[in-house]
Structure 1
Amino acid sequence: MPVGNLGNRRTVRDLRRTNRATLLRHLYFEGPLSRQELGPATGLSSGSVSNVTSGLLTEGLLEEAGSVDSDGGRPRTLLRVAARAGSLIGVDVGETGVRVELFDISLMEQARAEYPLRAEDRGHEVTHVARLIAEGLAAVRASEDPEIPLLGVGIGVPGIVERDPARGGAVVHGQTVGWDAVPLEALLREETGLPPAVPLFISNGAKTLGQAEMWFGAGRGAQDAVVALLGSGVGASVVTHGSAYGGASRGAAEWGHTTVQLRGRPCRCGARGCLEAYVGAESILDRWRGPRRHGAGEESDLAELLASRTPEADAVLAETAEYLGAGIADLVNLYSPERIVLAGWAGLLLGPRLLPAIRESVTAYALHHPASRTTLALGELGPDAVTVGAATLPLSRFLDAGGIRTPDPAPSG
């Protein structure tokens, strides 16, 4: 057969996959919709819509969702992504614990397993973390419906993630947790026993949180945004040229390790004067009660600080708001986003009390013109945002592939 014919065959296959992906994504985010609505909404011809939806219905990826009356004609059948099209697992390797959640295709939680990470129990030692993830996967998968396929597992981790095929996939550089080029994907494949056909995605936790807020939370509708994660540590996800259905350029910024004070407070990364050393939950509590004198846990201690009305507590919070505003001003000056979302468990605790003071600080430190087009909002997805975002990694691959369950090798980053 002539090479040209092979090229044409490839093009037809790619076009079919693109059409499937277009319809599947639109129905996932905007459904249920009728076939008549899908044509104008996606730009596909009525024939393409009919052929593609017929195939997706036959494969069980779409289902009928009732009907609506049309103007003088027959009722129009509504379609949506089938509830049984697949399940997803999201994992958050945080500063203080590991959380594993099983979701259905609509990202409604079905099961959860949580494990604390304590120094006396080996903390973030990578083999320990891998074992906890494996335990969590086994625990939540015990609740799976065996007839619903697992579309993949997404994992959000602290640090920089690179892909190194020679080392088995994703390699993590997590300086604050002592991970130096850890081949996490290879370790997890060995520890968890996940079948090779189940995609495994590893990404920076701030980046997964950012995707969740952009898809389902406070970032919806923004083209250019920064989603800031405040927990024990600090990070950010930078989104440029975004859209409701992905397709944006996203990057994880080590915002917490930008310098805000020369020769300032020591940071966990080994440097001095990092933003994280002033606005991370651990550092805030250190300034309030002194190092290693926290109570039941960082979250409860931070809530206690916010409830306290002593001059010492007020001074710590005021300083935190000013440094956080200055750090956000750096994001404004660098990226000129239309929206900045303050998220992460510590950000959501601090935000309601400190947001007015943070805004004042942003105004004081940012350039006036980019600051005038930037709004500051609180995240909407709560403390589960990283696990939800991690689950969107296999979900995005599934939608991009038009529901074809034989994915290419999973990228990490």
Structure 2
Amino acid sequence: MAGRNGRTVRDLRRANRGAVLQRLYFDGPLSRFELGPATGLSSGSVSNVVADLIGDGLVEEAGSVDSDGGRPRTLLRVTPASGHMIGVDVGETRVRVELFDLTLTELARAERPLEQQRYEVGVIVDHVHAGITEVLATAGLAPERLLGVGIGVPGIVEHTPDRGAVVHGQTIGWDAVALESLLRSGSPLPDGVPRFIDNGARTLGQAEMWFGAGRGARNALVVLFGSGVGACLVTPEAEHGRAVEWGHLTVRVRGRRCRCGALGCLEAYAGAESLLARWREEGGRIPRGADEETALTAMLAAAYPPDGTAADPVALAVLEETAEYLGAGLSDLINLFQPERILMGGWAGLQLGARFLPAVRKHALSYALRHPAENVTIELGSLGPDAVTVGAAILPLADFFARGGRRPDPDPESPPPAWRRALRERTPR
């Protein structure tokens, strides 16, 4: 039965379960008494929901605390082994696959390097399938127990009704790639396990906002600085984040050609790939056969020698110019969205770290309008290089919460169970 607002009793129960689960997840352990004010539910509703969640194995007791003059209060927490998710990061240098329990504790991981940035779709699909098989075998977990698989990818992700997630990755040569369909074909997982595919900058933003340096912010931007450059915008209207193709903002008319084919994009100056290319063009010596991460480490060591020897002036000049381009790009985000917090992550951003950030911050604030500049902080993300993978695993976790801790409904196209068919046959027509 639906109420005036269209919500059914089932919808209400699902929302109440989700509210209790999320409060225990983020703030637990908590007592039943504490859950009431935290969720806005009555004590009776809390007791019913908690009993339901304990019965489903999603919540368990976690000790007790003394109360003022009364009986000790039992503490409750989410049961870690009651659900599992896989997060996948299709990155610039490798495909990383990680298996997590419900509390996002890592249980297993697998990595597959991408030689010379090989973004052939078949190679990526094979790496993802192999990584999923490996982490499940390592943990001894049956595929059917997964709540879902989240996958962070470069490019614009379009969710279509007929082909699922379609990726438009212009910088990596992906033109409307039906990635979800390809991943389901030959997958080691049952069809009923959901796949959630989204932009890698958005999954990075999701992780930092849930568990990292973005917690508590209502308006924030999380920027991903790797081979390319991307961003995730989080506002009250887009609380789960929205990917922003920030790297393809034009910063120089008729400038350097970007990987996307356009001229003068921010990515053509600030991405790690272009940064290293500019150093090489100016005579920088990149170690033979080095991948981007190793090469960037070498460039950083040349610009800021750890032993106190003379710095490589070319490496230093390129890094300083890159800091200004990044700062100018951030100033556009500050002026457009007026965030209270900007976080810089991605393997390149974290590798350059404290050496790079002060200069980026100085340029961003000098180029931005005074008022929004005075109300923003610019810091590094706090979750490290695995943040994209963690954020990808959050995609099925968020869906699980939205369902009130219920697993996805069976595929409506699958045959109904035998008892239901028999009941239908006996029902008068």
Band of TM-score, shorter chain: over 0.9
1:384 counterpart SS class: helix
**Contact 2:31–2:73 (Cα < 8 Å) also in 1:** yes
Summarize the Cα distance change of 1:15–1:302 in structure 2 as closer, same or farther, 3 Å threshold: same
**Structure 2 residue aligned with 1:255:** 246
1:263 counterpart SS class: coil
Deviations 1:114-166 (A, max 9, x none): 111124xx811111110110000100011334479211100000000011122
Mapped pair 1:297 → 2:299: no
Summarize the Cα distance change of 1:136–1:405 in structure 2 as closer, same or farther, 3 Å threshold: same
**Structure 2 residue aligned with 1:162:** 158
For 1:277 and 1:31, how far apart are their aligned partners in 2? Answer: 45
- Return the match for 2:62 from 53, 62, 65: 65
Give the partner amino acid of 1:157.
V
Deviation at 1:108, TM superposition (A): 1.4
For 1:40 and 1:63, how far apart are their aligned partners in 2? Answer: 20
Q: How does 1:278-293 map to 2 (within 5 A)?
A: 278-290=269-281
Deviation at 1:367, TM superposition (A): 0.6
Give the partner amino acid of 2:220.
A
For 1:45 and 1:105, how far apart are their aligned partners in 2? Answer: 27
**Structure 1 residue aligned with 2:328:** 326
- Return the match for 1:103 from 100, 103, 107: 100
**Structure 2 residue aligned with 1:46:** 43
Give the partner amino acid of 1:405.
R
2:197 counterpart SS class: strand
For 1:293 and 1:305, how far apart are their aligned partners in 2? Answer: 8
**Structure 1 residue aligned with 2:391:** 389
**Structure 1 residue aligned with 2:263:** 272
> Identity over aligned residues, as a percent?
63
For 1:294 and 1:381, how far apart are their aligned partners in 2? Answer: 29
Give the stretch that moved more between structures: 262-271 or 139-148: 139-148
Mapped pair 1:336 → 2:311: no
For 1:110 and 1:146, how far apart are their aligned partners in 2? Answer: 10
1:84 counterpart SS class: helix
**Contact 2:205–2:222 (Cα < 8 Å) also in 1:** yes
Summarize the Cα distance change of 1:10–1:312 in structure 2 as closer, same or farther, 3 Å threshold: closer
**Structure 1 residue aligned with 2:416:** none
Give the stretch that moved more between structures: 143-152 or 132-141: 143-152
For 2:42 and 2:400, how far apart are their aligned partners in 1? Answer: 23
Deviation at 1:249, TM superposition (A): 5.0
- Return the match for 1:198 from 193, 200, 215: 193
Summarize the Cα distance change of 1:33–1:329 in structure 2 as closer, same or farther, 3 Å threshold: same
Deviation at 1:407, TM superposition (A): 4.9
**Structure 1 residue aligned with 2:220:** 225
**Structure 2 residue aligned with 1:14:** 11
1:221 counterpart SS class: coil
For 1:335 and 1:401, how far apart are their aligned partners in 2? Answer: 31
Give the partner amino acid of 1:406.
P
2:232 counterpart SS class: strand
1:143 counterpart SS class: helix
Q: How does 1:360-375 map to 2 (within 5 A)?
A: 360-375=362-377
For 1:67 and 1:178, how far apart are their aligned partners in 2? Answer: 56
1:191 counterpart SS class: coil
- Return the match for 1:307 from 301, 304, 308: 301
For 1:298 and 1:368, how far apart are their aligned partners in 2? Answer: 36
**Contact 1:131–1:191 (Cα < 8 Å) also in 2:** no
Deviation at 1:334, TM superposition (A): 0.7
The count of corresponding residues between Structure 1 and Structure 2 is 398
**Structure 1 residue aligned with 2:178:** 183
Give the partner amino acid of 2:11.
D
Give the partner amino acid of 1:39.
G
**Contact 2:89–2:97 (Cα < 8 Å) also in 1:** yes
Gaps of 5+ in 2: 303-310, 412-429
**Structure 1 residue aligned with 2:52:** 55
Deviation at 1:363, TM superposition (A): 2.0
For 2:369 and 2:69, how far apart are their aligned partners in 1? Answer: 57
For 2:129 and 2:352, how far apart are their aligned partners in 1? Answer: 33
**Contact 2:286–2:298 (Cα < 8 Å) also in 1:** no
For 2:140 and 2:126, how far apart are their aligned partners in 1? Answer: 24
- Return the match for 2:405 from 389, 398, 403: 403
**Structure 1 residue aligned with 2:33:** 36
Deviation at 1:293, TM superposition (A): 7.3
1:166 counterpart SS class: coil
For 2:212 and 2:7, how far apart are their aligned partners in 1? Answer: 38
- Return the match for 2:84 from 67, 82, 87: 87
**Contact 1:397–1:407 (Cα < 8 Å) also in 2:** no
**Contact 1:199–1:407 (Cα < 8 Å) also in 2:** no
**Contact 1:338–1:373 (Cα < 8 Å) also in 2:** yes
1:250 counterpart SS class: strand
Give the stretch that moved more between structures: 335-344 or 303-312: 303-312
Cα RMSD (Å): 1.9
**TM-score using structure 1 length:** 0.93
Give the partner amino acid of 1:302.
L
For 2:210 and 2:3, how far apart are their aligned partners in 1? Answer: 35
For 2:224 and 2:37, how far apart are their aligned partners in 1? Answer: 38
Deviation at 1:290, TM superposition (A): 3.1
Deviation at 1:196, TM superposition (A): 2.0
Deviation at 1:360, TM superposition (A): 1.6
For 2:206 and 2:161, how far apart are their aligned partners in 1? Answer: 25
Give the partner amino acid of 1:270.
G
**Contact 1:99–1:114 (Cα < 8 Å) also in 2:** yes
**Contact 1:92–1:387 (Cα < 8 Å) also in 2:** yes
Mapped pair 1:379 → 2:381: yes
Summarize the Cα distance change of 1:353–1:132 in structure 2 as closer, same or farther, 3 Å threshold: same
For 1:239 and 1:258, how far apart are their aligned partners in 2? Answer: 19
Summarize the Cα distance change of 1:6–1:402 in structure 2 as closer, same or farther, 3 Å threshold: closer
**Structure 2 residue aligned with 1:135:** 130
